[in-house]
Every structure is written in structure tokens, then in C-alpha cells.
Amino acid sequence: MADAVSAGVERPLGRVYDAAYAGVPNWDIGRPQRPFVRLVESGVLDSAMFHVLGDRERDAFVRELDAVFESDGLYCVLGDRRQDDRDVYGVSVPELRERFPAERWEFVHAEEAAFERRWGATPAVFAVLRRR
């Protein structure tokens, strides 16, 4: 962990995730999240990790998506909804619009959703972006 900190890696709520992964994480519900099931049925698949990254990691992640996605490729994100604009954790539609520049990404769809957990669900954002 000291190496990650010295390398400048942001870990919002790092202790919470370390504890969650010590056992079966609450979000491991034994089946795919419903928004992803709908996508798989239409031929698209992705993961739910954007909301746990820090600011610098999110910028790097988007740069890497720019580099690997071909034109018309779809990026789909399901993430816990940011409760407050000052929060580090979570994601919001305005943030996604800001981080994914319109000249390179088309915002295809966004909706409020639920991120299902074994013990309930949390408010989430589900968005689909297409690489131009």
C-alpha cells in the first residue's frame, strides 16, 4: 500500500474496499447487474469500475479508452451515483459528459438505475457512450 501511495495513486475509500474484498463483496450478487444483462442481450459488455477511480485515474482511464476503442465502439458504465458534487466517490451524468469530450464520444443513453447488492441496492447511474 505504501508503494501505491508513494506512486501517487488515489484510492478513495481504499480501506472500505480492502475490507470488502477480504470476503465476498456486497456487490457480488451472484449474477450480472440488470443493466448489463440488457446490454449483453444486445451484444455489448463492460464492467462497473469507473466510480471507484480517483480523478487522475478517471482521466487516464478515458485516455486509454480513446486509444483502444474503434469508431462506433460502445463504452457502458454502471456506477454508484455521486451523492454530492464535492464527493470523490461515485459518478454523475454531468461528470461523464465532461470527461468524455463530445468531439470523440457521443452520449447515447443515460438513466438513473440501481446498483444491486446482496443486501439491497444503491442509487446508480447507467450510461452508454459511443466512440466517434
The confidence score (pLDDT) of residue 62 equals 94
The single residue listed with the C-alpha cell 461515485 is: 90
The answer to whether 78 touches 29, Cβ cutoff 8 Å, is no
User: What is the grid cell recorded at 90?
Assistant: 461515485
The highest-confidence range among 12-16, 48-52, 70-74, 104-108, by mean pLDDT, is 104-108
Percent of residues, the chain, with pLDDT higher than 70: 85
The confidence score (pLDDT) of residue 5 equals 46
Burial of 33 (0-12, 13-18, 19+ CB in 10 A): buried
The answer to whether 131 touches 110, Cβ cutoff 8 Å, is no
Q: What's the whole-number mean pLDDT along residues 103-127?
A: 93
Is the pLDDT at 1 greater than 50? The verdict is no
Averaged pLDDT score across all residues of the chain: 84
Q: What is the pLDDT of residues 61-113, one digit of tens each?
A: 999 999 988 898 889 899 999 988 788 889 999 999 999 999 999 999 999 99
For residue 78, the cross-strand partners are 126
Q: What is the pTM of this model?
A: 0.69
Residue 5's CB: how many other CB atoms inside 10 A?
11
User: Domain total for the chain?
Assistant: 1
Is the pLDDT at 31 greater than 60? The verdict is yes
| Those residues with Cβ within 8 angstroms of residue 16's Cβ, 6 or more apart along the chain or in another chain | none
> What φ, ψ does residue 50 adopt, rounded to 5°?
-55, -40
Domain of residue 40: give its range.
2-131
Q: CATH number of the domain that 17 lies in?
A: 3.40.50.150
